[in-house]
A and B are shown apart, each in its own frame.
Chain A
Amino acid sequence: MKRILSRVLPHLTIILGVMTLVFYVVDGFNAVMAFMASDLSKQVFMVLAVSAIVSSIMLISRQWKEDDRKAKKAAKRLETAELEATEAMFELEELKKSRETGKDE
């Protein structure tokens, strides 16, 4: 359901947006036809507003999820890098120690 909504709502928003623009242009030519003021137009604007709000919320939610995913990935990468750095430090310490032991002998 959510997937269908996320696919349909942006199209509905575009369609109703263009419809509103058509009303606006026609209203400029003949305001007495009340294209921007009729009850039916108001319902179109209401559906447009709901559709725009829901698709925006879905888009924002998706962006946040994406941000979280990226942050998680970055954290994991950092953790791996830290681990690798610790291992390298340990290996370096070991090497230093073995060199010092060799000198003493």
Chain B
Amino acid sequence: MMNPKNRRVKRLVTAIVADLLVLGALLGAFTYFYFLRERDYTPRTLTSPTPAVSAAPEATAAEASTAPTEEAAATPTPAVVDTGLLGGKFAEKFTTGEVEQTETSYKSANVSIDVQQIVAGTPEKPITYYLADIYIKDISSFRTAVALDYKDQNQGDRKNVMSTKQLSQLTGALLAISGDNFAYHQSIAVRNGVEWENKLPVFGDICVLYYDGTMETYPQELKRADVDAIYAKEPYQIWTFGPELLVDGQVPAQFANGKANPLSAIGYYEPGHYCFILVDGRQKGYSWGMTYPELAQVFFDLGCKVAFNLDGGDTAVMTYMGEWRSQPEESSPRDTSDILYIVEPTAASGQ
């Protein structure tokens, strides 16, 4: 017969093991419902001054698996589309019609992209980031792509996420960065004038790009009336992530998270002039990563009026002409639900 002390120990161990098993099962269920489950969306086209850009240009499987070659990417003389976004300024940034493409820049009559690798920080803690200076004459050059629109080309198990590189190749993006990964969050998501989700409360700050090329950011504590006001101004893109890196054009005094990480962010100077910044990180000797205050300071020093952080960490990557421009920590970085990308305007590319 077991003595009372041994019986008590056995009962305690059994209870702990049973509780841990249930805890594991509950955490597993939470992970499934919070991250892995593919949510149902009913995309809805919003009213816009111009017809909304089609969410997914048709792409064949063959196109999907092939990165655009230099010849293919360098579209020969796209038609000139100027809707006056830049108000006739920065003429020197564009060509008169031909395409000039190098390993770090792309210039046509409609789009100008210049990507620079910048090394900052200290020798012990270097920070490498990529700054893409973007000028566009038509807002349809600034687009987003959602992985769910490319289900047929997605060979992964999960159809709501895809590699940024593959998405950039499928869309024929000249330049692309990973987006806000809205499939993982409760958010307001508008992509190319199509509403994917509109749920409050949102999980982070909000960035809105309007059809007139202006960009604004809003804090997380949005009320339904605030969202209605945003919708009344005809949003072209809405991202939910954050934080806002500049508030009223200034670096905020405080940020919630002070750790250095790989980061992906967007900046706005004026309608038609934007920048993407991709900070590599967590790679000893190459790039440590950046904190939010450091990144905000970079945008401030660049002269941006608005700056917004997108999903960082293993998701944060940049491609140029369908190939990696940044150097991801992993050979296959975390898949994302969406990307931001720059292309020739829809009228010029015939989409």
Contacts and interface: CB of A to CB of B under 8 A. Distances in A.
Interface of A: 11, 14-16, 18-19, 22, 30-32, 34, 37-40, 44
Interface string B234-245: 000000011000
Interface in B189-248: 203-204, 241-242
Contact of B19 (A11, A30, A34, A44): A11
Contacts of B22: 11, 15
Nearest to B18: A11
Contacts of B256: 31
Given A11-B22, A37-B203, A44 B185 contact: no
B19 A38 contact: no
Nearest to B261: A30
Contacts of A11: 15, 18-19, 22
Contacts of A44: 30
Given A11-B15, A15-B22, A18-B23, A40 B30 contact: yes
A38 B15 contact: no
A44 to B, nearest CB: 7
Nearest to A11: B19
Contacts of B302: none
A44 B31 CA distance: 13
B27 A32 contact: no
A37 to B, nearest CB: 7
Interface of B: 15, 18-19, 22-23, 26-27, 30, 33-34, 185-186, 203-204, 241-242, 256-257, 311-313
Contacts of B26: 15-16, 19
A34 B15 contact: no
B313 A40 contact: no
B27 A19 contact: yes
A39 B241 contact: no
A40 B34 contact: yes
Contacts of A30: 257, 313
A99 B18 CA distance: 75
Contacts of B186: 38-39
A15 B313 contact: no
A15 B23 contact: yes
Q: Which 7 A-B pairs have the closest CB atoms?
A: A34-B203, A15-B23, A40-B34, A15-B22, A15-B19, A31-B257, A18-B23
A14 B18 CA distance: 11
A44 B19 CA distance: 16
B232 to A, nearest CB: 27
Contacts of B23: 15, 18-19
Contacts of A34: 185, 203-204
Contact of B203 (A16, A22, A38): A38
- Which of A16, A32, A38 has its CB near the most chain B CB atoms (within 10 A)? A32
Contact of B241 (A14, A32, A38, A40): A32
Nearest to B204: A32
B209 to A, nearest CB: 21
Nearest to A18: B23
18 contacts: A11-B15, A11-B19, A14-B19, A18-B19, A19-B27, A19-B30, A22-B27, A30-B313, A31-B256, A32-B241, A32-B257, A32-B311, A34-B203, A38-B34, A39-B186, A40-B33, A40-B34, A44-B30
